[in-house]
């Protein structure tokens, strides 16, 4: 029997086929029972350790087969929504008595400014300093050869290139 893959349609048929698939491989019991909820006693026997280990292995195999039997798009949705909690015992308040009334709070313009800079941004003074630095760089060879500092820098760089 081939592994049935769930693609979001015919979930009842897939569930029946998956149960038969896991049952044929002696893994369905691992799906129904909670193996991880029963820890070993304080001084376990070798038989208890072996049984506990087998149950954990079966649980892992069943999980692996279930994950493999779900298409990647559906699996991604399951992983994303696994932490969602449904409060089944709570009810909707149809009278809306507990609904919070909204208030309009006037905002001070000074409060809108964030005091801490956003990570990865620079202050305006840093940006202006960089702009000033680029202005002082020569635009081409003609300007560079007119400045003795640039001539010395170019000679030093050529000496390093020849050395290597």
Per the model's pLDDT, the better-predicted residue between 42 and 96 turns out to be 42
Average pLDDT of every residue of the chain: 76
Work out the percent of the chain whose per-residue pLDDT is above 70: 67
Q: What is the DSSP letter of 43?
A: S
Question: 3-state class of 70 per DSSP?
Answer: strand
**Least reliable range by pLDDT among 33-37, 75-79, 118-122:** 33-37
| Domain residue extents for the chain | 11-80, 122-163
pLDDT in tens, 9-18: 777 888 888 8
At 98 the pLDDT is 57
pLDDT in tens, 109-157: 665 555 666 677 777 777 766 666 555 677 778 888 888 888 888 899 8
Token pair 């087969």 in the structure block, residue: 65
Backbone angles phi, psi at 6, to 5 degrees: -90, 125
pLDDT band at 162 (very low <50, low <70, confident <90, very high): very high
Q: What is the spatial distance between Cα 21 and Cα 16, in angstroms, rounded to a whole number? A: 9
Question: 3-state class of 6 per DSSP?
Answer: strand
Work out the percent of the chain whose per-residue pLDDT is above 90: 2
**What is the pTM (predicted TM-score) of this model?**
0.44
Using an 8 Å Cβ cutoff, are 67 and 75 in contact? yes
């Amino acid at each position: 029997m081939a592994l049935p893959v769930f693609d979001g349609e015919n979930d009842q048929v897939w569930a029946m086929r998956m149960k038969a698939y896991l049952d044929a491989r002696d893994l369905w019991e691992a799906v129904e029972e909670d193996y991880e909820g029963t820890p070993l006693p304080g001084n376990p026997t070798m038989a208890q350790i072996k049984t506990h280990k087998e149950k954990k292995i079966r649980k892992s195999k069943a999980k692996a087969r279930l994950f493999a039997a779900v298409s990647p798009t559906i699996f991604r949705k399951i992983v994303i929504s696994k932490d969602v909690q449904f409060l089944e015992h709570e009810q909707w308040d149809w009278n809306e008595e507990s609904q919070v009334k909204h208030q309009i709070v006037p905002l001070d313009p000074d409060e809108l400014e964030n005091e801490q800079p956003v990570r990865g941004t620079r202050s305006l003074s840093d940006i202006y300093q960089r702009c000033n630095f680029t202005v002082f760089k020569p635009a081409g060879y003609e300007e560079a050869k007119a400045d003795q500092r640039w001539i010395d820098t170019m000679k030093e760089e050529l000496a390093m290139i020849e050395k290597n």
